[in-house]
Amino acid sequence: MATTFTFDHTIDFSPENADAILRTIPVLPGVFALRSPRPTDEPYLTRAADLRRRMRRLLNPPESQSKRLNLRDKVARIDYCITGSDFESSLVLYHAASTLFGHAEARRRLKLHTPTFLRFAIENPHPRVYATNRLTKRSLDNTYGPFPSRLAAERYCDAVLDLFKLRRCHEDLHPYPEHPGCVYGEMKKCLEPCKQACTFEQYDAETKAVKAFFDTQGESMLAAISADREQASAEMEFERAATLHAQWQKVKAAASQADEIVQPIPNLQAIIVQEAAIPEGQHADQAAIFLLKGGCLAGPERLSTLGVRAVKEQTSVGSSLFAQPLMLQAVPLEGEPVTPTESPEERAKTVLESLDTKIAPSTDLALLSDHLSLFRRWYYRPEKQRTGEIFLPNPDGTWPIRRILRGAARMVLGEPKQLPDIQREAAKEAKVRILHEGRPDVERAVPVVEKRSGKRK
């Protein structure tokens, strides 16, 4: 999948009309390139939270004795596009840099590094699992990730292998009975294929069990243990049930060390919802939708939130007929009412289908690595610093359309705010007067009787 990119806006620049030209630049975040009149010169490419302010710093008349970079006399054209989120800015900047300078230079400028994955070397006669940041075409189906760091990947790998007896050595085995073995064999944590201590069928069965664990994020093992635990409880074998429950907790702890996004690379699918780029003077009623499929990113596509209410995914309100504190208040809007021609669900499905047609399994490992690096950089940020929302497909492979619509509405309207609680007790206390305050013997609180509004005749 080749990287092609064109800027949305192009303006010719001249120092004589710099002030008038810069006034046309929006006060919005975006990505821009300043181009020289000579086509052989490299453009100045960067992103900014405020396009106009950043360009003024570069294109205004230089101050005396200032060391600030000034390109006023070296720019003939301005290319720019506005963006709605930090995630979109990073993706646009990467595609622009790849088009102008190539993948290698774009990777260097954005400081992109291939994320860490767990590779299952299934093609080996004695398969093993190890952490790596190198991608190969033939091993993508057995490469799991991305992880936030190599340490996190190795910690998860060790926790899973502690549940099985798969080998952990890195050498290419040539089994013979006199092989010295390793410490894991001494601790009975390995089947010791190096010593021919197990048959090929036994090691193959262990390999399939480990792969099933990674493919299902531990659900294959948890379901089997849970069924045995329920059977033991039904048969009144409570000691065995307690042992199985302890084993279930250990497996659950190991599986929880990997995020839900950790999947084989071809199975990586997610919908990312961000704020859309809104030109100045226009009403914000759309969200930006991105698609992650097979490790590659596509988008943004705009999704209208007309007719969608922004609600929280989990609320503590009940089904009472009284007004709930999380209900939205109706606000009259100016202008003519707009009647949607199609339902929100149909609009969302159309957007997702459009994104799906723009993406295809990538044969370019460099592009795949860079997209995964951009996604990992955004996804593993602390939750308070990560803008936007992500939605994974349902177990049956379909998309949670209603949840995506609610997430898009939250991007446009913001999180629904809880109304302040009514302090009824505080109101009662406010109508109390303290008599003889500071005298313990006679101090007391008496209610204040409201005065009558009418006058006595």
- pLDDT tens digits, residue range 103-131? 899 999 999 999 999 999 998 888 999 99
Look at residue 89 in the predicted model and tell me its pLDDT.
94
Residue 152: predicted pLDDT: 94
Tell me the H-state helices in 358-423: 365-379, 401-413
Element of type H or E holding 253: helix 238-255
Asked if residue 256 has pLDDT above 50, the reply is yes
The distance of Cα 198 from the centroid of its chain, to the nearest Å, equals: 43
* Per-residue confidence (pLDDT) for residue 319, from 0 to 100: 44
Q: Are 430 and 446 in contact (CB under 8 A)?
A: no
Token pair 């992109």 in the structure block, residue? 112
What is the reported pLDDT for 322?
Answer: 41
CA distance 126 to 171: 10
Pair 328, 385: CB distance under 8 Å: no
The SS3 of residue 444 is: strand
> What pTM did the predictor assign?
0.79
- Whether the per-residue pLDDT at 456 is higher than 60: the answer is no
| pLDDT score at 418 | 63
Q: Among residues 300, 279, 278, which one has the least CA distance to residue 88?
A: 300
Looking at per-residue pLDDT, the higher value among 442 and 122 belongs to 122
**pLDDT single digits (tens) 164-188:** 999 888 888 888 888 888 888 888 8
Question: If you search the block for the tokens 């003024």, which residue do you land on?
Answer: 56
- The ranges of the chain annotated as CATH 3.40.1440.10 are 9-110
Tokens of 28: 């919005």
With H, G, I as helix, E, B as strand and everything else as coil, classify residue 33: strand
What sign has the CA pseudo-torsion 361, 366, 371, 375? Answer: positive
Cα gap 407→311, rounded to integer Å: 8
| Residue among 210, 246, 259, 253 at smallest CA distance from 386 | 259
188-195: average pLDDT:
86
**Considering only the top CATH level, what class is 9-110?**
alpha beta
Residue 21 has pLDDT above 80, yes or no: yes
Choose between 307 and 85: higher pLDDT: 85
At 426 the pLDDT is: 57
Q: What's the confidence (pLDDT) of residue 77?
A: 92
